[in-house]
Amino acid sequence: MKGLAKLELRYGRYAIKNLTLYIAALNLAVFLLTLVIYQGNILSTELALGLFPQLVLKGQVWRLITFIFLPNTYHPIWILFSVYLTYMIGASLENYWGRFRLNLYFLVGMLGTIIAAFITGYGSTGYYLNLTMFLAYATLFPEQQFMLFFVLPVKVKYLGLLNAGYILYEMIYHIQFRQWHMVAAILVSLLNYFLFFGEDFIKWIKLKRQVAKNRRRFFEQVRPYDRDRDRRY
């Protein structure tokens, strides 16, 4: 991403340290508030904190931030795993990138989600943004192992492929039923991922094409020699 070093030099001091620790803690806090205040009514929580453009335009500007505090799950057991995963992935990315780049990655994902919500007029949460965080983690740490269901060791690169496949499935599903607001939400949630990794993928594709071209040129040069040798023998 061109100019990232200059941005970091200029605005790096404003980056929030341990960003995903706060997000994970607030995810857990929202889960507990759902149990205490709304008696487990998830819909009430999402209506109170979710990103709804019409309500933002009426002055409820806190929704531009609070939508990322909605947890991915409200199951009493899985919420602990989800909160830990959010923190662990964020901490690993922050250690690798530095806090500014992690902040920027998350901010771009947030802005993309907000823009999609205002264009389509539909509400949104940080669900797909969290999926792109895992995609970034799987791209940078493909050989890291997770204990699936606390028993089966699985490398992160395979979970990342499953994650990407799930996102693609979701997109195809919503296209099939012409739910364009969901398609837009998925696409813009990937904006941060392609901004950070798109250039690397382009270089990888070019490298693969060059390798294939070199291999083809090599065999073209070898064939005449093989034919001459066969004629001699």
Asked if the model's pLDDT at residue 189 lies above 60, the reply is yes
* C-beta separation of 91 from 178 below 8 A: no
Q: The domain spanning residue 177 has which CATH number?
A: 1.20.1540
Asked if the model's pLDDT at residue 115 lies above 70, the reply is yes
The mean pLDDT value for 141-170 works out to: 87
Q: How far is CA 58 from CA 53, 55, 61, 111, 120, in A?
A: 9, 5, 8, 19, 17
Token pair listed for 7: 């941005």
- Residue-level pLDDT at 215: 73
Q: Is 148 left (phi over 0), alpha (psi -120 to 50) or beta?
A: beta
Say if 224 falls within a structural domain.
no
Single-letter residue type at 217: R
Say if 221 falls within a structural domain.
no
Q: Which domain holds residue 152?
A: 4-205
Asked if the model's pLDDT at residue 192 lies above 60, the reply is yes
- Percentage of the chain modeled with pLDDT above 70: 88
Average model confidence (pLDDT) across the chain: 86
- pLDDT band for 233, please (50, 70, 90 cuts): low
Task: Compute the CA torsion angle 214, 220, 224, 230 (nearest 10 deg).
Answer: 90
- pLDDT band for 217, please (50, 70, 90 cuts): confident
Say if 37 falls within a structural domain.
yes
Say if 107 falls within a structural domain.
yes
Say if 171 falls within a structural domain.
yes
- Chain mean position to CA 167: 10
- Give per-residue pLDDT as tens, 43-95: 899 999 999 999 999 999 999 999 999 998 898 888 998 999 999 999 999 99
Q: What is the total count of domains within the chain?
A: 1
Say if 226 falls within a structural domain.
no
- pLDDT band for 224, please (50, 70, 90 cuts): low
CA distance linking residue 27 with residue 90, whole number of Å? 14
Beta bridge partners of 145: 155
Say if 211 falls within a structural domain.
no
